[in-house]
């Protein structure tokens, strides 16, 4: 990067199943206003705006043109991006690159989704072949991940899946911005409605309405704006379209060449990380269902298969464990798709600042990682730091 970049402002809406009290412009404005207030800036101080959502889900083409009244982008430089579930991660990368380029000093990234104005499930479910895939897919997600884990670990895998959901519910109950804030028990999870065997309703993420805004600034500006900058140490994007076969086939090379593992290897090598669990304090992970967290975490943390299951069983990933995962409640409790991955970065930054409120972890967070997933088997990782790189 030409310049070091730091996060200086964070804003979220309260995420809910229904936001009929606001239109898209007004909802986006809530997050933008919150981010500006957090950074103690005015919209005139923002040089560039990066905007992203899944247009398919609301059926509105180029919503960034309409949202100008809400996000303040009038006559400002900017870009609109859509990359599926990774959209929030992509706009975070783009915002950092714009600020690091030297062309702009302050850049705002805005991710949002108002899913009640379209029908997300219908749009995603239509991607599955009605003859071949209907019995194995819940829209964009298949049951193969869960099936593999149950094949390898039996009933233990189902128990750990319930433990992960209980943990996320507990964390979300402390997060005022989370959508599903109810605590659940293992029994609740195990008896929830079966969607596609062995995936149950409480294993899955919800359809949420909400927005998130993040303000990043070049080093010179960041030091003037805030006494608590969160430095973007690195970000890596890996997309491997050929790995889409994982949805319907069990690939022999999946463990080694999944985009999560490839992305993690790149990030760790570039930053001299040899033991991520010891050298990274916290992980905000894009987990569209608990089963994917259980498998993907092995890949992200470069562990042997089943290593993450042991971590969950021992309480290592709890909010006050040695390696907290999703203290915000994660994606299985809040999923406004265009904002979802941006929220991971925002929540990781709040933990580093010590501003996460009731869901702040007990230990000091100096380094945090956030992931995004979507598109054609895309993975994005952000590495954030309390210290200037």
pLDDT recorded at residue 124 = 67
User: pLDDT band at residue 375, thresholds of 50, 70 and 90?
Assistant: confident
Phi-psi region of 237 (alpha: psi -120 to 50; beta: other; left: phi over 0): beta
The answer to whether residue 385 sits within a structural domain is no
The answer to whether residue 53 sits within a structural domain is yes
Interhelix angle for 290-300 vs 144-153, to 10°? 70
* Per-residue pLDDT at 248 exceeds 60: no
Structural domain of 12: 5-119+207-225
Q: How many other C-beta atoms can be found within 10 angstroms of the C-beta atom of residue 22?
A: 16
Q: Determine which helix (DSSP H) or strand (DSSP E) holds 5, and give its type and residue range.
A: strand 5-12
CB 144 within 8 A of CB 46: no
Of 94, 54, 49, 52, nearest to 72 by C-alpha is 49
pLDDT in tens, 225-241: 999 999 999 999 998 76
The answer to whether residue 339 sits within a structural domain is no
The answer to whether residue 161 sits within a structural domain is no
- Within 8 A by CB and 6+ apart from 135, the residues are 196
Across residues 97-102, what is the average pLDDT? 96
- Within 8 A by CB and 6+ apart from 42, the residues are 36
Across residues 276-298, what is the average pLDDT? 96
Of 199, 218, 206, nearest to 179 by C-alpha is 206
pLDDT in tens, 65-85: 999 999 999 999 999 999 988
- Within 8 A by CB and 6+ apart from 217, the residues are 5, 6, 8, 99, 105, 106, 107, 225, 229
Q: How many other C-beta atoms can be found within 10 angstroms of the C-beta atom of residue 82?
A: 16
pTM of the model: 0.94
Question: Using CA atoms, how far apart are residues 320 and 317, in angstroms rounded to an integer?
Answer: 8
* Per-residue pLDDT at 57 exceeds 50: yes
Query: Which residue pairs, CB below 8 angstroms and at least 24 apart, start in 309-313?
Result: 309/153, 309/156, 309/157, 309/160, 312/160, 312/163, 312/164, 312/167, 313/160, 313/163
* Per-residue pLDDT at 210 exceeds 90: yes
Q: For tokens 């206003």, what's the residue?
A: 33
The answer to whether residue 94 sits within a structural domain is yes
CATH number at residue 10: 3.40.47.10
The answer to whether residue 98 sits within a structural domain is yes
CB 377 within 8 A of CB 243: yes
Question: Using CA atoms, how far apart are residues 240 and 123, in angstroms rounded to an integer?
Answer: 23
Q: Which residue has the higher pLDDT, 55 or 262?
A: 262
Q: For tokens 């790189």, what's the residue?
A: 389
* Residue 18 structure tokens: 């229904």
The answer to whether residue 10 sits within a structural domain is yes
Mean per-residue pLDDT over the chain, rounded: 91
Interhelix angle for 259-271 vs 290-300, to 10°? 40
Across residues 176-192, what is the average pLDDT? 97
The answer to whether residue 56 sits within a structural domain is yes
Peptide bond into 151 cis (omega under 30): no
Task: Name residue 325's beta-bridge partners.
Answer: 283
pLDDT recorded at residue 266 = 97
| Total number of domains constituting the chain | 1
Q: Which of 31-40, 51-60, 86-95, 242-251 has the lowest mean pLDDT?
A: 242-251
Give 191-251 as a DSSP string: HSPEEETTEEGGGB----EEEEEEEEEEHHHHHHH-SS-EEEEEEEEEE-GGGGGGGTS--
pLDDT in tens, 112-160: 999 998 877 666 666 555 555 555 555 556 778 898 899 999 999 999 9
* Per-residue pLDDT at 243 exceeds 90: no
Of 382, 380, 370, nearest to 271 by C-alpha is 382
């Amino acid at each position: 990067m030409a310049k070091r970049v730091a996060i200086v402002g964070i804003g979220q809406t309260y995420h809910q199943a229904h936001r009929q009290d606001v239109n898209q412009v007004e909802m986006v404005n809530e997050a933008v206003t919150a981010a500006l207030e957090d950074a103690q800036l005015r919209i005139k101080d923002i040089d560039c705006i990066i905007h992203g959502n899944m247009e398919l889900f609301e059926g509105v083409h180029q919503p960034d043109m309409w949202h100008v009244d809400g996000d303040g982008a009038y006559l400002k430089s900017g870009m609109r991006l859509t990359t599926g579930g990774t959209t929030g991660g992509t706009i975070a990368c783009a915002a950092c690159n714009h600020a690091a380029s030297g062309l702009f000093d302050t850049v705002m990234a805005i991710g949002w989704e108002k899913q009640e104005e379209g029908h997300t499930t219908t749009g995603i479910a239509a991607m599955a072949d009605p003859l071949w895939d209907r019995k194995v897919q819940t829209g964009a997600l298949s049951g193969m991940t869960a099936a593999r884990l149950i094949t390898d670990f039996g009933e233990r895998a189902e128990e750990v899946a319930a433990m992960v959901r209980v943990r996320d519910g507990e964390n979300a109950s402390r997060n005022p911005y989370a959508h599903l804030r109810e605590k659940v028990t293992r029994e609740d999870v195990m008896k929830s409605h079966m969607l596609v065997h062995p995936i149950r309703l409480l294993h899955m993420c919800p359809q949420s309405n909400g927005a998130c805004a993040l303000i990043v600034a070049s080093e010179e500006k960041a030091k003037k704006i805030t006494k608590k900058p969160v430095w973007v140490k690195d970000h890596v994007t890996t997309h491997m379209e050929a790995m889409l076969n994982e949805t319907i086939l069990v690939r022999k090379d999946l463990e080694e060449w999944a985009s999560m593992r490839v992305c993690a290897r790149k990030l760790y090598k570039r930053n001299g990380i040899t033991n991520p669990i010891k050298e990274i304090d916290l992980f905000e992970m894009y987990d569209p269902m608990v089963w994917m967290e259980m498998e993907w975490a092995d890949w992200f943390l470069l562990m042997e298969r089943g290593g993450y299951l042991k971590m969950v069983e021992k309480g290592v990933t709890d909010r006050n464990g040695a390696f907290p995962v999703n203290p915000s409640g994660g994606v299985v409790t809040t999923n406004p798709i265009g904002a979802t991955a941006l929220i991971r970065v925002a929540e990781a930054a709040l933990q580093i600042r010590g501003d996460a409120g009731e869901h702040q972890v007990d230990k000091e967070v100096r380094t945090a990682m956030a992931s995004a997933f979507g598109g054609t088997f895309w993975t994005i990782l952000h590495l954030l730091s309390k210290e200037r790189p």
